A and B are shown apart, each in its own frame.
Chain A
């Protein structure tokens, strides 16, 4: 294999592939990226056995071929090369090294045979559809904060993507919860997704997915089977196993009968929560909300640290309500609301609250209260 490629193009392609590589792994080949050169194209493939990313870039291929080298090492080298440099990659079957040369710099990297590199088995996808990157980004970015880290409830360690009956017809829906808060985000159901099996997309896949979704208008090809899913752009293909488990029936925990409506400027609310939470104890981070007519008082009382209080002008017309929440949960939910005011729907101080953006029900959040 011998190819030439522009440093910037190479950096982007290697960078995207190498982030999948687990920093701590015991199988040497999994630390490597598989480089394949053929035609006018070079591809970089990396995997942790659960996720596989293949990144393609145009290159001048003098001699086709394939090898594997340390993903982190290659990325570090390319990152440190000067911008605009032309980089040459060439493997030497005699020494078993891959040479990386750019200008006066040259490196010789240890390789492992390409045959050892595990390539994820392909899957029969039962649903194939196309969705705008912007829509997918919204689905996952708005729900991922609620993903649980609790290992024994592994079926919560991801986002549940499925077809659901939304307020405005059938929807592609993402749900995540850790038991304390829940996010439910809908988008119009893309054609071809009707028969899709509901899948739990692992947290790491959700994070890796971001880099495919840079350009809101790009069409992303999505393929789903019971065990795997794939997101593809012309340059990148991300294939991931899904979490083998049953996502709980979340529909029953989304409160439908909450009638006490609070409307507040989301960013103003978030800043106020953040300020009063400064004195709260690290562990509980409890913030008390006292609601009266068009008035919201946020307060924290931490016996060992001190107390804080802040008053906000809000729209609220119901009876007085006192309710406590974990400040972190409030902040995370408020930060999802970016276009309009945040609307909270409460019932009583021991009941979960529902949060949404204005009257838009395509993204709703549920948060459990705390005793304060």
Chain B
């Protein structure tokens, strides 16, 4: 059996400690050097970045998330020991882990680390498909001659590099398709390296719940359950045609996935289609002044992301959730793509005014879509808004101040509402 030491990259036969450096962190697998599709997932990403930037937090439970009615974005592994999980309401998380340090997310910092990781991935293969800030697929097939090493070695080296240079750890899943690679990366977190080969695919999937299949969400799960399908084994008993007849296009996909088959390609730079920010309000809110303050802050966050990504949006969307949980959205196509908070805010505020809705609202959100590179959208003076140029210049100046002295160095009075 081929084995690889993750610490010194020594390749050897058999199991056990590395004969070269005596490290126990080896991976042994028959197909180790034959697999080339990887999923890389950062371990407790936001919390890890926070711990890296503030070593005093290293041994404390850290929860990144927001607000009294907010939810947990990321919990570090110490907090997870107490039972804290992502997407858990904050009050519940704090009940489980009262001494946790709760931090508001600092997306700028996460974006920076995420970009640095991505840059290191892209140095290895052009086929990098980011799924979010903290996870991405890589297709390393056909790169062995280029790198002078099989994908497994390249990946182990990448994980080592990320840890050494960026101070965060990642878990890697290596398999023969995307679906299995993603499952694999989750098997041995944190700092994991798991392999699912062709030979063991069927055995691996046996007995697993159908909910782990790609694309199976709560509603499909309920429909599957109604058909008596709970485990992947249950799916294997269905004829393909019967699954298709019952579940349409998804039926065919389920048939393949249950057999560990997934033909999706890894597509680099799947373009971002929209940027949006929303906030669940601490309590239902109808006060137009306060809502206006939220609109501004959300517009600013959307603008920050758009600026970081170098894009501008042709369409502005406003999302409101009433106390009754009914969601309404309003959208408007702009004369020119917008990147500035000022422009996004003005459109969102106009949409809000024209919606005729008074609230109270439970959630409010702002987004842009129809994204174009912002070089094509740099603001030309607006004939219908002679002051726009001055406001744009003011915003760019404020951005430079914030870049130099920190995000709180200068804010609009409106942001305090």
A-to-B contact residues, CB < 8 Å:
148-154, 156, 177-182, 248-250, 252-253, 284, 350, 352, 366, 368-371
* Chain A residues closer than 8 Å to B380, beta-carbon distance: 180, 350, 368-370
Q: How far is the CA of A371 from the CA of B386 in the complex (A)?
A: 20
Q: Are A152 and B386 in contact (CB under 8 A)?
A: no
Given A152-B316, A154-B354, A284-B376, A179 contacting B383 (CB threshold 8 A): yes
Q: How far is the CA of A334 from the CA of B378 in the complex (A)?
A: 26
Q: List 5 A-B contacts (CB under 8 A).
A: A150-B333, A152-B354, A178-B384, A179-B382, A368-B381
CB distance from B393 to the nearest CB of A (A): 14
- The answer to whether B332 touches A250 (Cβ under 8 A) is no
Which residues of chain B come closer than 8 Å to A148, judged between CB atoms? 335, 384
- Residues in B with CB closer than 8 Å to A371 are 376, 378
Chain A residues closer than 8 Å to B347, beta-carbon distance? 152
Q: Which residues of B contact A253 (CB under 8 A)?
A: 381, 383, 386
User: Considering the chains assembled together, what is the distance between the CA atoms of A248 and B383 in angstroms?
Assistant: 9
Which residue of B is nearest A181, CB measured? B383
Tell me the smallest distance from the CB of A163 to a CB of chain B, in Å.
21
Find B386's partner among A151, A156, A181, A249 (CB 8 Å cutoff): A249
Q: Which chain A residue lies CB-closest to B372?
A: A283
Interface residues of B (CB under 8 A from A): 316, 332-336, 346-347, 350-351, 354, 376, 378, 380-386
Query: B318 — nearest CB in chain A belongs to which residue?
Result: A152
Residue of A nearest to B316 (CB): A152
Q: Once the chains are docked, how many angstroms separate the CA of A284 from the CA of B380?
A: 14
**A203 → chain B, closest Cβ, in Å?**
15
Does A178 lie within 8 Å of B386, measured CB to CB? no
Greatest chain B CB density within 10 A among A151, A152, A156 is at: A152
In contact, B332 and A150 (Cβ under 8 angstroms) = yes
Q: Which chain B residues border A249 with CB–CB below 8 Å?
A: 386
Inter-chain CA distance A248–B334, complex, in Å, is 17
Given A148-B335, A150-B333, are A248 and B376 also a contact pair (CB < 8 Å)? no
Tell me, in angstroms, the Cα distance from A248 to B382 when the chains sit together: 11
Which of A149, A151, A350, A368 contacts B383 (CB under 8 A)?
A: A368
Task: Identify which of B316, B332, B335, B351 contacts A178 (C-beta below 8 A).
Answer: B335
Please tell me if the beta carbons of A179 and B350 are within 8 angstroms of each other in the complex. no
Cα separation A197 to B381 with both chains bound (whole Å): 28
Instruction: State the CA gap A352–B384 with chains docked (Å).
Output: 13
The reply to whether A156 and B332 contact each other, CB–CB distance below 8 Å, is: no
Q: Which residues of B contact A149 (CB under 8 A)?
A: 333
A55 to B316, CA, bound (A): 41
Ordered nearest first, which 8 A-B pairs have the shortest CB separation? A152-B350, A179-B384, A152-B332, A179-B335, A179-B382, A252-B386, A253-B383, A182-B383
Majority SS at the chain A contact face: loop
Query: In angstroms, how far is the closest chain B Cβ from the Cβ of A327?
Result: 16
Q: Report A-chain residues with C-beta under 8 Å of the C-beta of B333.
A: 149-151
**Smallest beta-carbon distance B264→chain A, Å:** 27
CB distance from A181 to the nearest CB of B (A): 7
Measured in the bound complex, the distance between the Cα atoms of B382 and A178 in whole Å is 9
Whether A248 pairs with B354 at a CB distance below 8 angstroms is no
Residues of A within 8 A of B376 (CB): 284, 371
- A179-B383, A250-B383, A253-B383 known; 6 new pairs, CB 8 Å cut-off, are A150-B334, A151-B333, A154-B354, A179-B336, A180-B383, A182-B383
* Bound CA–CA A248/B381 (angstroms): 14
Chain A residue numbers with a CB within 8 Å of B316 are: 152
Bound CA span A368–B379, Å: 11
Most A C-beta atoms less than 10 A away, residue of B332, B347, B351, B380: B380
Residues of chain B within 8 A of A369, CB atoms compared? 380
B-side contacts of A182, CB under 8 Å:
383-384
Which residues of B have CB within 8 Å of A151?
332-333, 354
* Nearest CB in chain A to that of B377: its residue: A371
- In the complex, what residue of chain B is closest to A148 when comparing beta carbons? B335
How far is B318's CA from A341's CA once the two chains are assembled, in angstroms? Answer: 47
The residues of B that contact A179 with a CB separation of less than 8 Å are 335-336, 382-385
A70 to chain B, nearest CB (A): 30
Q: Report the bound CA distance from A178 to B334 in whole Å.
A: 10
User: Which chain A residues border B346 with CB–CB below 8 Å?
Assistant: 152
Tell me which of B332, B336, B386 contacts A180 (CB under 8 A): B336
Q: How far is the CB of B224 from chain A (nearest CB, A)?
A: 40
Considering the complex, give the chain B residue whose CB is closest to the CB of A155.
Answer: B384
Q: Are B383 and A177 in contact (CB under 8 A)?
A: yes
Pick the contact of B384 from A156, A284, A350 — CB < 8 Å? Answer: A156
Give bound CA distance, A150 to B351, whole Å. Answer: 11
In the complex, how many angstroms separate the beta carbon of B411 from the nearest chain A beta carbon? 24
Give the shortest distance, in Å, between A24 (CB) and chain B (any CB): 19
- Contact residues in B for A156 (Cβ distance below 8 Å): 384
Question: Could you tell me the distance between the alpha carbons of A148 and B334 in the complex, rounded to whole angstroms?
Answer: 10
CA distance A222 to B364 in the complex (A): 46
Quote the shortest CB–CB distance from B254 to chain A (angstroms): 39
Given contacts A178-B335, A179-B335, A284-B376, whether A153 and B384 have CB atoms under 8 Å apart is yes
Does B335 lie within 8 Å of A180, measured CB to CB? yes
Cα separation A323 to B183 with both chains bound (whole Å): 55
**Closest Cβ neighbor of A286 among chain B residues:** B376
Closest CB of chain A to B297's CB: distance in Å?
A: 19
A353 → chain B, closest Cβ, in Å? 12
List chain A residues, Cβ under 8 A from B332: 150-152
A177 to B384, CA, bound (A): 6
Shortest beta-carbon distance from B326 to chain A in Å: 21
Tell me the bound Cα distance from A178 to B385 in angstroms: 10
Cα distance, A96 to B386, chains bound together (Å) = 58
Which residues of the partner chain A approach B383 to less than 8 Å between Cβ atoms? 177-182, 250, 253, 352, 366, 368
CA distance A346 to B51 in the complex (A): 57
A352 pairs with B381, CB closer than 8 A: yes
Q: Which residues from A are CB-within-8-Å of B350?
A: 152-154
Min CB distance A156 to B, Å, is: 5
Complex CA–CA separation, A154 to B354 (angstroms): 10
Chain A residue, CB-CB nearest to B378: A371
Contact B378 A248 (CB under 8 A): no
Chain B residues within an 8 Å CB radius of A152: 316, 332, 334, 346-347, 350-351, 354
Q: How far is the CA of A366 from the CA of B382 in the complex (A)?
A: 11
List the A residue with the shortest CB-CB distance to B346: A152
Inter-chain CA distance A25–B386, complex, in Å, is: 37
List of A residues within 8 angstroms of B385 by Cβ: 179, 248
* Minimal Cβ-Cβ distance residue in A for B376: A284
Contacts of A366 in B (CB 8 A): 383
